[in-house]
Amino acid sequence: MAELRLTPEEEAMLRGEEGPGVQKAMEIVVALGRIYGAADLVPVASVQIAGVSYKNLGDAGLEFLREWAKQGAHARVPTMLNPMGMEADRWQEMGIAPDFARPQLEVVRAFTQMGAIPTLSCTPYLLAYAPRRGDHLAWAESSAVIFANSVLGARSNREGGPSALAAAIVGRTARYGLHLDANRRGTHWVEVRAPVRDVPDFGALGYLVGKAISAGVPYFPDLAAQLPPLPTDVTLGGEAGDRLKTMGAAMAAYGNIALYHLAGYTPEARDAGADLAPPPDAPRLVIDSLEAAYAVMDRDTDVTRIDLVSIGCPHASYHELAQIADYLDGKRVKAQLWVTTARLTRERAAAAGIVQRIEAAGGYVVADTCTVVAPIQSLGVRTMATNAAKTACYAPSHSRVAVRYGSLERCLEAALTGEWK
Ligand code: F3S
Judge whether residue 200 has pLDDT over 70: yes
Using CA atoms, how far residue 368 sits from 163, 224, 374, in Å, is 22, 32, 10
pLDDT in tens, 351-374: 999 999 999 999 999 999 999 988
Query: Which residue, judged by its Cα, is nearest atom 2 of ligand 1?
Result: 370
Quick one: three-class SS letters along the chain? CCCCCCCHHHHHHHHCCCCHHHHHHHHHHHHHHHHCCCCCEEECCEEEECCCCHHHHHHHHHHHHHHHHHCCCCCCCCEEECCCCCCCCCHHHHCCCHHHHHHHHHHHHHHHHCCCECCCCCCHHHCCCCCCCCCEEEECCHHHHHHHHHCCCCECCECCHHHHHHHHHHCEEECCHHHCHHHCCCCEEEEECCCCCCHHHHHHHHHHHHHHHCCCCEEECCHHHHCCCCCCCHHHCCHHHHHHHHHHHHHHHHCCCCCCEECCCCHHHHHHHHHHCCCCCCCEEEECCCHHHHHHHCCCCCCCECCEEEEEEEEECHHHHHHHHHHHCCCCCCCEEEEEECHHHHHHHHHCCHHHHHHHCCCEEEECCCCCCCCHHHHCCCEEEECCHHHHHHHHHHHCCEEEECCHHHHHHHHHHCECC
The strand pairing partners of 137, in sequence order, are 46
Residue nearest to atom 1 of ligand 1 (CA): 314
| Residue 340 Cβ < 6 Å to ligand 1 | yes
Instruction: Please say if the pLDDT value at position 379 is more than 90.
Output: no
Residue 121 has pLDDT above 70, yes or no: yes
Residue 280 has pLDDT above 70, yes or no: yes
Give the position, in ligand 1's atom list, of the atom nearest the Cα of 312: 6
pLDDT of residue 256: 93
pLDDT digits (tens, 9 = 90+) for 303-321: 999 999 999 999 999 999 9
Q: Is the CB of 313 under 6 A from ligand 1?
A: yes
pTM: 0.96
pLDDT of residue 362: 98
Summarize pLDDT for 181-198 with one digit per residue, the tens. Answer: 999 999 999 999 999 999
Over 80: is that where the pLDDT of 378 sits? yes
Distance CA 64, CA 61 (A): 5
- Cα 362 to chain centroid distance, Å, stands at 27
Asked which of 47-56, 115-124, 133-142 is least confident by mean pLDDT, the reply is 47-56
Q: Which of 372, 393, 394, 401 to mutate to test the pocket of ligand 1 (most atoms within 8 A of CB)?
A: 372
By percentage, how much of the chain surpasses pLDDT 70?
Answer: 100
pLDDT mean over 27-40: 97
Residues sharing a CB contact under 8 Å with residue 67, sequence separation 6 or more, in sequence order: none
Residue nearest to atom 3 of ligand 1 (CA): 313
pLDDT at 322: 98
- Rounded mean pLDDT, 385-405: 93
Whether 2 has a pLDDT exceeding 80, the answer reads no
Counting from 1 in the atom list of ligand 1, the atom nearest the Cα of 83 is 4
pLDDT given for residue 1 in this prediction: 58
Residue 55 Cβ inside 6 Å of ligand 1? The answer reads no
